[in-house]
Amino acid sequence: MDSLRQSPSPCSSRPSSPRTPPCEMPASVGIEAVLDQLKIKAMKMGFEFNVMVVGQSGLGKSTMVNTLFKSKVWKSTLPGLGVPTPQTLQLHSVTHVIEEKGLKLKLTVTDTPGFGDQINNDKCWEPILSYINEQYEQYLQEEILITRQRHIPDTRVHCCVYFVPPTGHCLRPLDIEFLQRLCRTVNVVPVIARADSLTIEEREAFRSRIQKDLKSHCIDVYPQKRFDEDANDRILNSKIRERIPFAVVGADQEHLVNGRCVLGRKTNWGIIEVENMAHCEFPLLRDLLIRSHLQDLKDITHNIHYENYRVVRLNESHQLPRGPGWVNLAPMNLAHASAGQLTSPRTSKACKQAQEEPKYDF
């Protein structure tokens, strides 16, 4: 009986002697297992990544894509053999599924032959802009359906790699016009193409001049400063921002150097190794696009660029009468959007951000 009275009951109102509170119990809950579940799901679903390469012909865009993904994404039609420069800008998409360590990547590369090749290149960016907006439109259409697919196929352009010719002087008027317009709609990563024509000093001088030009024309290339989420991001991204635009060289042939097989270009005076940081900055580009920032590129495209587009579109179709060309957006969804009830939770934060941004015209 004494023993009963001495042992404190959990329901008594008397202050009980200190016991170990539940959060310090040695056994863990097992939240880390969620990460594994995500990974398994991701492996099953696979990833999608859409890249667009823009630049004048001959700057090595196709070779660069092949080098980046180490697979012949483009069939090796030797340039110049029977493939004439198209008279107008065309857009040409190729989709491949690449697999590495059980993870599937559905890669779509859109090429833009004919960009900047004509005598009169006025408005040559318009087909590109309309293609990008078309992809946003397609996604929007899928998203506002009443019965939606479980996984909306994502054809939106996640990243646009812009190839700057290595003149060594500065950006050309065409480059400036294009970059200004496209940076508002898509993530743009400018690179100095065919950088093996510049010595190291010329490269640095060219890079600093380009950075100056970009700043003076308010061109915000990826990684954009204003989307840095925390201090870690900022440190990482500033390092990248210092080196933008990367001076890259592409090669899809292998040569033997010091007993190793490397990708490179063989010339009479030496072999340019593509993956050697002392020779060119291709590893930086590859790491940015694939190893470290692929998901970030997709997130920014989805949360910011796509949301901007969506807000503008929804506002437009709400105000203007629904003419023949307009998409028939179902009134129920419109009411939802205007009443502040967003269709999915992930869009709420980004939408607020998007509304704070000034409206861009595209």
Partner 1 sequence: MSKQQPAQFINPETPGYVGFANLPNQVHRKSVKKGFEFTLMVVGESGLGKSTLINSLFLTDLYPERIIPGAAEKIERTVQIEASTVEIEERGVKLRLTVVDTPGYGDAINCRDCFKTIISYIDEQFERYLHDESGLNRRHIIDNRVHCCFYFISPFGHGLKPLDVAFMKAIHNKVNIVPVIAKADTLTLKERERLKKRILDEIEEHNIKIYHLPDAESDEDEDFKEQTRLLKASIPFSVVGSNQLIEAKGKKVRGRLYPWGVVEVENPEHNDFLKLRTMLITHMQDLQEVTQDLHYENFRSERLKRGGRKVENEDMNKDQILLEKEAELRRMQEMIARMQAQMQLQMQGGDGDSGALGHHV
Please name which of 180, 204, 163 lies closest in space to residue 60, comparing C-alpha atoms. Answer: 163
What dihedral angle (degrees, nearest 10) is formed by the CA atoms of 11, 12, 15, 20?
-30
| Six-digit token string for 182 | 């496209």
Minimum distance from residue 94 beta carbon to partner 1 (Å): 19
**Residue 120 contacts partner 1 per CB under 8 A:** yes
Q: Is 256 helix (H, G, I), strand (E, B) or coil?
A: strand
- Cβ proximity to partner 1, 24 vs 201, nearer residue: 201
In Å, what is the CA distance from 152 to each residue of 174, 221, 288, 303?
A: 35, 27, 25, 15
Which residues lie across from 92 on neighbouring strands?
111
- Cβ proximity to partner 1, 31 vs 119, nearer residue: 119
Binding-site member from 49, 54, 57, 306 for partner 1 (CB under 8 A): 57
Binding-site member from 278, 321, 339, 344 for partner 1 (CB under 8 A): 278
Which residues inside 127-186 make contact with partner 1, applying CB under 8 A? 165-177
The DSSP element (H or E) to which 190 belongs, if any, is strand 188-192
**Residue 307 contacts partner 1 per CB under 8 A:** no
**Residue 117 contacts partner 1 per CB under 8 A:** yes
Q: Quickly count: other Cβ atoms within 10 Å of residue 195's Cβ.
A: 26
- Cβ proximity to partner 1, 262 vs 312, nearer residue: 262
Phi, psi of 67 (to 5 degrees): -70, -40
- Site size toward partner 1 (CB under 8 A) is 51
Stretch that binds partner 1, among 30-38, 55-63, 145-153, 350-358 (CB under 8 A): 55-63
Q: Is 257 helix (H, G, I), strand (E, B) or coil?
A: strand
**Residue 80 contacts partner 1 per CB under 8 A:** yes
Binding-site member from 40, 42, 200, 256 for partner 1 (CB under 8 A): 200
Binding-site member from 105, 152, 240, 271 for partner 1 (CB under 8 A): 271
Output the CA angle 176-86-108, nearest 5 degrees: 70
Binding-site member from 25, 31, 119, 146 for partner 1 (CB under 8 A): 119
C-alpha–C-alpha distance, residues 246 and 214, integer Å: 14
- Cβ proximity to partner 1, 144 vs 263, nearer residue: 263
Please name which of 216, 191, 186 lies closest in space to residue 302, comparing C-alpha atoms. Answer: 186
Q: Which residues bind partner 1 (CB under 8 A)?
A: 56-60, 78-80, 83, 85, 117-122, 165-177, 193-194, 196-197, 199-200, 209, 212-213, 216-217, 265-273, 278-279
